[in-house]
Amino acid sequence: MNATAEAATTDLPWLKKYPAAVKWDSKFEPKPLWRILDDAVAAFPDKMLVDFLGKTFSYAEIGEMVNKAAKGFQSIGVGKGIKVGLFLPNCPQYVISYFGILKAGGTVVNYSPLYSESELEHQIEDSHTDMMVTLNLKALYPKMEHLLPQTRLKKLIVGTMQEVLPFPKSLLFPLVKGKEIAKVPDDDSHVWFGDLLRQGSDYAPAEIDPSEEIAVLQYTGGTTGVSKGAMLTHANLAANAEQARMMFSNCEEGKEVFMGVLPFFHVFAMTSVMNMAIKMGAGIVMHPRFELGPVLKDITKKRPTVMAGVPTMFL
């Protein structure tokens, strides 16, 4: 770049809002998205990655479960070109599945639990989603049960709340919340999430071109017609996590705690909460949905240092 062009670029008004340490021309090495998790597991194995309703999981524990999930996904046919949907609220299964699918070589497709069946059907067919990860909750599972025979879906991977809740909540959940639990058939089109993690952790690492291969299909809100799938490569999302990390230059590696209440299935929270937190070795106090009382209680008790949100939440 010549001196005149460089001077013109540095005069751009938005650059004045950048933190002093952030350079507009920073370079980012294309890399597989799962590298941000592996790097954090190596650097902060004993640090808390997830606090879900009081049950905590360290980076090492999540890293091991991701490797087991990768093996499990490969055992049911996930590999390059296979799309796996996540029809989940914020929960440990989301993080484990997200990185497990990527390590298996597949592509993640995010689904909003708020979508109608017709919107979900369009997205399943448009994205070529063959498998879907969800929970055995009546707020989620019945939609996928209904769509299984009507769409290209071949398998549902079904998790439970009991497997990620602390004791004694895990014991009490079926008793207290029994009416919220859906009945799941025992057949070849269903796989329990817990069984997926029992296949070992010796997955076959996927060889990918980070700049070309799609990590996530992220569907738009459909405000100008039907929802459309934005193709996000491994390099796109890995760079996004690094860019976001750079903008928070006052945060310390391995010492921050994020309030994870924005939905991870939305691109905002996927990058600015989940991936950025992992990039800096931070913990995530995870909530399945925004409820003012529980969120304020956890802010007081667990002292998160970073919270991404929308104006309505802050008001």
| pLDDT computed for residue 227 by the predictor | 85
**3-state secondary structure at position 140:** coil
Amino acid 55 reads K
- The pLDDT tens digits for 89-106 are 999 999 999 999 999 999
How far is residue 269's CA from residue 295's CA, in Å, rounded to a whole number? 16
| Distance, C-alpha 263 to centroid of its chain | 9
Strands (E), the chain: 48-52, 55-58, 83-86, 107-110, 129-135, 155-159, 190-192, 214-219, 229-233, 257-260, 283-286, 306-307
Six-digit token string for 22? 């952030």
| pLDDT computed for residue 177 by the predictor | 87
| pLDDT computed for residue 42 by the predictor | 98
| pLDDT computed for residue 6 by the predictor | 56
What angle do helix axes 59-75 and 92-104 make, rounded to 10 degrees? Answer: 50
| pLDDT computed for residue 1 by the predictor | 52
| pLDDT computed for residue 21 by the predictor | 79
pTM: 0.94
Six-digit token string for 153? 């879906």
Residues 242, 20, 259, 30, Cα dihedral to 10°: 0
48-62 in b/e form (b: 16+ CB < 10 A) is bbbbbbebebbbebb
Stretches in the chain below the pLDDT threshold 70: 1-10
The number of residues in the chain equals 315
Amino acid 269 reads A
